[in-house]
Amino acid sequence: MRFVYIFINVPYIWKCKIGISGNVRRRRRKVSRSTPGFVIPVWVVYVPFAKKLEGQLHRFFGLFKSPFRKGSGRSEWFLTLPVLPLAWLILNFTFLLYWSPVWGLLGWLLWR
């Protein structure tokens, strides 16, 4: 399983990055070194179908692409204002949809 993350670039706060990684801390450092400014993680979700979810988010938000001229994951940068709120909601919904039955079952087993 991997993480789906959303990063914001500082000082280019109008750009956000949607991506996947097994190690978000290492990925953040790599992206910060390869793009102007530095990145801050806004949201990270751990799901088993991260690659598929990330691809669907990229297609869904394709109209709002805002790539850097060079650097890490040029096609994965989007305009923050239209993308971030909706991407955040989608990631939260996906996380809850996948993990709530797991936690519900675990809670039921522990408290019965």
What is the predicted pLDDT for the residue at 25? Answer: 93
How many residues are there in the chain? Answer: 112
**Residue of 50, 85, 82 whose CA lies nearest to 63:** 82
Q: Where are the domains of the chain?
A: 2-111
What is the predicted pLDDT for the residue at 73? Answer: 60
What is the predicted pLDDT for the residue at 74? Answer: 67
- Left if phi > 0, otherwise alpha if psi is -120 to 50, otherwise beta: which for 73? left
What is the predicted pLDDT for the residue at 71? Answer: 62
* Ranges of residues in the chain whose predicted pLDDT is under 70: 70-75
Whole-model pTM: value is: 0.84
What is the predicted pLDDT for the residue at 10? Answer: 93
Q: What are 40-62's pLDDT values in tens digits? A: 999 999 988 999 999 999 999 99
What is the predicted pLDDT for the residue at 56? Answer: 95
